[in-house]
């Protein structure tokens, strides 16, 4: 394999909703940081919501398959694999791709609908999460991530929230890296955090859900926040300086959720919450302004003071 400059890998960048429309820093950081690591992310023109697996899947799985398939076909037409930065999107886009490739009955059903918009799902591409690209040395790998760091996040204690839909249910997932199939106590994200010079910290029940998924955030906000609050209690116990995630929806739940928790439960945590792409951007020398960290509900200042 050649080590020349320029992008070695090119992906159609599937954005989803919350990253581009609420935390655009995640999008900007992913594009810039991945480029430094030899991965070019090009726009996937005309993509829509994945669609939200909780909301759409709950109403009618057939619609969920068809809507996700439309996004997949856009990438098929570009003859490019998809990279994305959100666990919810991973569930829709990766899982529907996988299901349609392996189940003729589902594929036929979807193609009957797609015919109405002159599209056909062919099953010619693969789907990856950017975190997976970073961890897998076939694309980037932890060593290259470490080598790209110019501003190590030394001294910061960072806890990881893996989220659910990238890794669960593990019996349906097909990661090349075996470590990613461990859903009881994985440490691959901690490796990525350590590569940035920070200290990864473990906490109780770290694989617990953020509480937002399945439409529960919209159906019963207090119930959903109560799950988030339990995680925040456990995070406070280990005195983490920041929480990192790989899912903008989890990020929304932890970040804006802390404000709602303050209002509803009267508890304050002030725990900065950053997508791993934002952390990576910081470690590669991007400024907090370039990352749009001021858009976060919970100020990242105390954390930034430690690492800048």
Tell me the angle at which helices 248-265 and 221-237 cross, rounded to the nearest 10 degrees.
100
- Cα separation, 50 vs 47, in Å, equals 8
**Cβ closer to other proteins: 43 or 155?**
43
- Cα separation, 268 vs 260, in Å, equals 10
**Cβ closer to other proteins: 209 or 261?**
209
β strands within 202-263, DSSP E: 242-245
* Distances, alpha carbon 29 to alpha carbons 115, 210, 277, 278, 296, in Å: 37, 23, 6, 6, 15
**Cβ closer to other proteins: 7 or 55?**
55
Residues numbered 141 to 160 that lie near other proteins (CB under 8 A) are none
The least CB distance from residue 137 to other proteins, in Å, is: 26
* Distances, alpha carbon 19 to alpha carbons 68, 212, 248, in Å: 17, 15, 6
List the one residue out of 286, 251, 255 whose CA is nearest residue 153. 286
Q: Which of 35, 103, 154, 204 binds other proteins (CB under 8 A)?
A: 103
Q: Which among 99-107, 150-158, 269-277, 297-305 is the span making contact with other proteins, rule CB under 8 A?
A: 99-107
Edge to edge, what strands does the sheet with 273-275 contain? 199-201, 157-161, 242-245, 273-275
Say whether residue 162 binds other proteins (CB under 8 A): no
Residues numbered 229 to 268 that lie near other proteins (CB under 8 A) are 230
- Cα separation, 39 vs 259, in Å, equals 36
- Cα separation, 222 vs 210, in Å, equals 13
Say whether residue 45 binds other proteins (CB under 8 A): yes
DSSP 81: -
**Cβ closer to other proteins: 57 or 198?**
57
The least CB distance from residue 82 to other proteins, in Å, is: 13
Q: Which of 72, 82, 164, 189 binds other proteins (CB under 8 A)?
A: 164
Whether 15 and 28 have beta carbons less than 8 Å apart is answered as: no
Distance from chain centroid for Cα 159? 15
**Cβ closer to other proteins: 51 or 200?**
51
Query: Count residues contacting other proteins (CB under 8 A)?
Result: 73
Say whether residue 17 binds other proteins (CB under 8 A): yes
Say whether residue 78 binds other proteins (CB under 8 A): no
Residues numbered 169 to 188 that lie near other proteins (CB under 8 A) are 169-172, 183-184
Q: Which among 12-20, 124-132, 138-146, 268-276 is the span making contact with other proteins, rule CB under 8 A?
A: 12-20
Direct distance between the N- and C-terminal alpha carbons of the chain, in angstroms, rounded to an integer: 36
Q: Which of 137, 143, 147, 220 binds other proteins (CB under 8 A)?
A: 220
Q: Which of 141, 197, 214, 285 binds other proteins (CB under 8 A)?
A: 214
Say whether residue 21 binds other proteins (CB under 8 A): yes
The least CB distance from residue 21 to other proteins, in Å, is: 5
């Amino acid at each position: 394999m050649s080590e020349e400059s320029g992008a070695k890998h090119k992906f159609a960048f599937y954005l989803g909703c919350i990253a581009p429309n609420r935390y655009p820093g995640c999008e900007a950081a992913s594009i810039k940081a991945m480029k430094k690591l030899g991965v070019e992310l090009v726009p996937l023109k005309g993509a829509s919501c994945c669609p939200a697996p909780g909301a759409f899947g709950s109403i009618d799985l057939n619609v969920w398959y068809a809507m996700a398939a439309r996004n997949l076909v856009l990438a098929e037409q570009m003859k490019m694999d998809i990279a994305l930065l959100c666990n919810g999107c991973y569930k829709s886009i990766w899982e529907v791709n996988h299901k349609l490739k392996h189940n003729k009955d589902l594929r036929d059903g979807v193609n009957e609908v797609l015919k109405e918009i002159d599209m056909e799902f062919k099953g010619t591409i693969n789907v990856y999460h950017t975190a997976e690209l970073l961890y897998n040395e076939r694309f980037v790998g932890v060593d290259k991530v470490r080598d790209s760091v110019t501003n190590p996040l030394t001294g910061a204690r960072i806890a990881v929230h893996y989220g659910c839909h990238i890794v669960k249910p593990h019996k349906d997932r097909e990661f090349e890296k075996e470590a990613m199939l461990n859903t009881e106590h994985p440490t691959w994200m901690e490796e990525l955090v350590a590569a940035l010079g920070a200290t990864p910290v473990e906490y109780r029940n770290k694989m617990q859900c953020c509480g937002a998924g399945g439409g529960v955030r919209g159906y019963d906000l207090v119930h959903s926040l109560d799950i988030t609050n339990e995680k925040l209690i456990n995070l406070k116990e280990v005195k983490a300086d920041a929480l990192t995630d790989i899912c903008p929806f989890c990020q929304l739940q932890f970040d804006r959720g802390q404000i709602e928790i303050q209002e509803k439960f009267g508890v304050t945590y002030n725990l900065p919450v950053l997508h791993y792409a934002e952390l990576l951007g910081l470690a590669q020398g991007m400024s907090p302004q370039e990352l749009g960290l001021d858009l976060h509900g919970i100020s990242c200042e105390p954390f930034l003071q430690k690492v800048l």
